[in-house]
Amino acid sequence: MMTSTGVEAVVGAMLNLGFKKRTGMIFTRSVAEGVLGWVGLNQATRRQAPGHVEVNPVIGIRHQQVERIVAQLRHKKFHPYIPPTVSRQLGYLMPEANYRTWVLGAVEATQAQSADLVGAILSYGQPFMESGSTLPGLCRLIEDGVGFDFLLNYRRPVALALAVKQLVR
């Protein structure tokens, strides 16, 4: 668990924005009925100054109906928030479209980094979450390869079948 002052500021801001803290550094909040916006704050302390943490934010969308069916088909227990159905590292959602991390520590300058990270989650992560909050939007993201192939391979046919079923109603 990250314990720097900057990380504590990020956690507090996420809670104030209505995200629910889950296991580790995973946060979720509802973006539509049965759809969770998902934020994972991966951490690394290696090669960082003492008291500093490098944060690699991953933004995801979890479609509960898709995940419930995938779990049933794979004879696995349904987990309420892991994994996200689709996900992307936050830096790739930003205008630069590059891998990006934030280094957070215990110094005052880190407050600006913490605010920048939370601002990026709101400015770029939130629209991404909303873009996949419908089945057609989710299917577009899956077809664009947003996420890991080994996860998408199971979710693609389920999401497409649910989208078709929704269309014919």
How many Å from the N-terminal Cα to the C-terminal Cα in the chain?
Answer: 46
Taking residues 57-80, what's their average pLDDT?
98
Among 151, 128, 126, 154, CA closest to 140? 128
* Confidence bin at 3 (pLDDT 50/70/90): low
Please report, for residues 3, 38, 131, the alpha-carbon distance to residue 141 in angstroms, rounded to integers and kept in the order given. 34, 15, 8
Chain centroid to Cα 77, Å, comes to: 21
Cα–Cα dist 39/125, whole Å: 8
Integer Cα distance of 51 and 110 in angstroms: 11
Of 12-16, 21-25, 107-111, the least confident = 107-111
CA pair distance 130, 9, nearest whole angstrom: 25
User: pLDDT, tens digit, for every residue of 101-131?
Assistant: 998 886 666 778 889 999 999 999 999 999 9
Confidence of residue 2 (pLDDT cuts 50, 70, 90): very low
The domain of 128 spans: 5-168
Q: Which of 110 and 26 is assigned the larger pLDDT?
A: 26
**Mean pLDDT, residues 3-21:** 87
pLDDT digit string, tens, across residues 66-76:
999 999 999 99
| Structure-token match 């090669």, residue found | 47
pTM of the model: 0.92
Q: Number of folded domains in the chain?
A: 1
